[in-house]
Amino acid sequence: MADEEVVEGEEKKKGGLVKVLLFVIIGILLIAMSIGGTLFLTGAFDAKPIVVDEDGNVITQEVTAEGVEGAEGAEGVDPNVPKPLDKVSKEMPEGQKFDQLYNEMERSFTVNLSGSKQFCQFTMGFMTHYDQRVVDNVYKHELAVRSAIIMEVSTYNKDQLATVTDKQKLANAIKARMNQVLIGYEDFGGIEEVFFTEFVIQ
């Protein structure tokens, strides 16, 4: 009798241990399925395209609901819609640095100032962190860009251009006007700074 009770006790212990292990395994499976389902729904398992440029460098592409960003002719991307330009990065060991592209406009400006017979004569240049296409766009639409600059400067009088701060405000206003013209024609501006290389009021 005693032996039978010991055997029954051991079987009950084993049966309880099997149940506990079964619950643990089911719990782990449920957690794994939940994580896998979440990753699947967020697109973590989707294949990301690899694009190689002319120099053999790998360009990573972002996959969105609309398609592959930046890949011309990719499914879901309209090749007729202009895309923003990428900033030209410099190879630097620390942080993200961008290369500056400077360009001086070839012709000087002579503009009558508001409310007087005086005029302002200046030459100027601009800077972008984007590529040569921004410079090309400025010269492609040079007539419209120059007109916008002249119209902006003609609203100022001599007293509004007396200090360095005044001239910086004018440079910022010219930058905004240039970007406005480029966005109107090319859907992208890209001018980030304007500099005066000569500035005379007579």
Provide Rg for the chain, Cα atoms: 33
Q: Which of 194, 195, 182, 193 is nearest to 84 (CA)?
A: 182
Specify which residues 120 forms β-bridges with.
Answer: 111, 201
Residue 119's H or E segment, with its range, is strand 119-128
Higher pLDDT, 157 or 71: 157
Interval 74-102 mean pLDDT:
60
pTM: 0.54
> Which range (18-22, 62-66, 157-161) has the least confidence?
62-66
Mean pLDDT along residues 48-59: 56
141 pLDDT more than 90: yes
Average pLDDT, the chain: 78
Q: How far from 126 is each of 138, 146, 194, CA to CA, in Å?
A: 10, 13, 4
The answer to whether 134 and 85 are in contact (CB under 8 A) is yes
Query: Averaged over 53-81, what is the pLDDT?
Result: 50
pLDDT, residue 73, reads 44
